[in-house]
Amino acid sequence: MTKAKLDFIQLLRAVAAIAVVLYHAAIVTPKYSPFPARSLNVLSLGAYGVDLFFVISGFVIFYTTNNISVSQFVRKRIERIVPIYWLYTVFTLLITLELGGGAEFSWKKFLLSISFISFLLGDAPLMYVGWTLEYEMFFYACVAASMFIWRRTWPPVCTLISGLIVLGALTSPVSAWGKFISASMMLEFLMGILIGQALIWKRIGKVEACSVTAAALAVLFADESHRALIVGIPAAALLIAAVKASSYRLPKWVVEVGDASYSIYLIQVFTISACSKGFQRLLPSLDPDLCIVITTFITLIAGMASYSFIELRLRNILRIRPPIGQNAAA
């Protein structure tokens, strides 16, 4: 797989991040405006940027886990996800305490948030966008367990997650944790894995194909929204196109936005709120659709700055060094 293909995956990450920011800005901005945003219905589709992130994640994890140990995999996932999320969660905590805590705040919620297990309370983490990271971490945990226990990683991963989805469809769990581990959105990670097998291995494992097919049928017949299929399949098609587009190059700035997509995704929690309140105070008559555009642009700039000056530096400072003689994974 060439760097050009990875560049196009970064393009998809940029698209997913921008879509989610537009969606959240479209929800928040009209709350501080005297008239509604005309683009609200269209921009609500940006929520599906999360589905694109999940499909991409499944593919990237498949691609990057070949020929590495479970310790390397866990180390890289922690380095990638945890430091800046913890930093911004603490920042959210300080803001929450400064504003009086709020009715929904508790130290238990904070601890569960930084542990990526807020789903145990059936509630969103302190940083509301963190709910997607909890699914990511659960997916990583399944992959790590499979790498540790079995010689072949992907058949157990696909069987376990697919089995949970089917079980959830059959039993309709009422507990928060039961709903979480059997969520149909987990199917989107598996789509990314199958795409990786098809495009890199040039074949799809029989166990993987059968288990994912079973999960897809469970979603089709038992999930009322069918979101994992209705949105996941187009997202998978976009991913396939991105991987296939190996003969084209992208402008550097496009790739850089994709590189910064995680920081953009996190920092929107602060920029959208700040921009919306700022427009209300300074420019109350400004068209809310224009507010959404400006807010999104500011969020992108802030996210790219966060990536360059905070995220990368945190990774380097807190990087878990591999044992002497152990090669670092790509």
The more confidently predicted of residues 284 and 103 is: 284
How many CA atoms are closer than 13 Å to the CA of 2, on its beta-carbon side?
A: 8
**Predicted local confidence at residue 38, as pLDDT:** 81
Mean pLDDT to the nearest integer, 246-266 = 93
> Lowest mean pLDDT: which of 43-52, 109-118, 256-265, 318-327?
318-327
Q: Distance between CA atoms of 295 and 68, rounded to whole angstroms?
A: 41
Residue 3's pLDDT band (boundaries 50, 70, 90)?
low
Q: Which helix (H) or strand (E) holds 196?
A: helix 187-196
Q: Distance between CA atoms of 114 and 96, rounded to whole angstroms?
A: 15
**Predicted local confidence at residue 75, as pLDDT:** 93
- How many Å is the Cα radius of gyration of the chain? 20
pLDDT(189) > 60: yes
pLDDT tens for residues 8-26?
999 999 999 999 999 999 9
Residue 243's pLDDT band (boundaries 50, 70, 90)?
very high
**Predicted local confidence at residue 66, as pLDDT:** 82
**Predicted local confidence at residue 2, as pLDDT:** 54
Task: Judge if pTM exceeds 0.85.
Answer: yes
Percent of the chain with pLDDT over 70: 94
Percent of the chain with pLDDT over 90: 77
pLDDT tens for residues 24-58?
999 998 877 776 678 888 999 999 999 999 999 99
**Predicted local confidence at residue 259, as pLDDT:** 96
pLDDT(325) > 60: no
pLDDT(329) > 50: no
Residue type, 39: S
**Predicted local confidence at residue 283, as pLDDT:** 87
On whether the CB atoms of residues 253 and 260 are closer than 8 A, the answer is no
Kindly report the backbone phi and psi dihedral angles of residue 321, in degrees, each rounded to the nearest multiple of 5, phi listed first.
-75, 135
Mean pLDDT to the nearest integer, 196-222 = 96
> Lowest mean pLDDT: which of 101-105, 112-116, 190-194, 196-200?
101-105
CA distances from 252 to 166, 259, 305 (A): 43, 10, 16
pLDDT(159) > 90: yes
Mean pLDDT to the nearest integer, 152-164 = 96
Q: Distance between CA atoms of 57 and 185, rounded to whole angstroms?
A: 12
- State the residue for tokens 């994912």: 212
**Predicted local confidence at residue 328, as pLDDT:** 39
pLDDT tens for residues 290-316?
999 999 999 999 999 999 999 999 988
Contacts 24+ apart (CB under 8 A), 314-321: 314/83, 314/84, 314/87, 315/79, 315/80, 315/83, 318/79, 318/83, 319/79, 320/75, 320/78, 320/79
**Predicted local confidence at residue 37, as pLDDT:** 72
CA distances from 235 to 27, 50, 157, 231 (A): 23, 10, 21, 6
- State the residue for tokens 């922690």: 78
pLDDT(322) > 70: no
- Angle, alpha carbons 218-189-318 (nearest 5°): 145
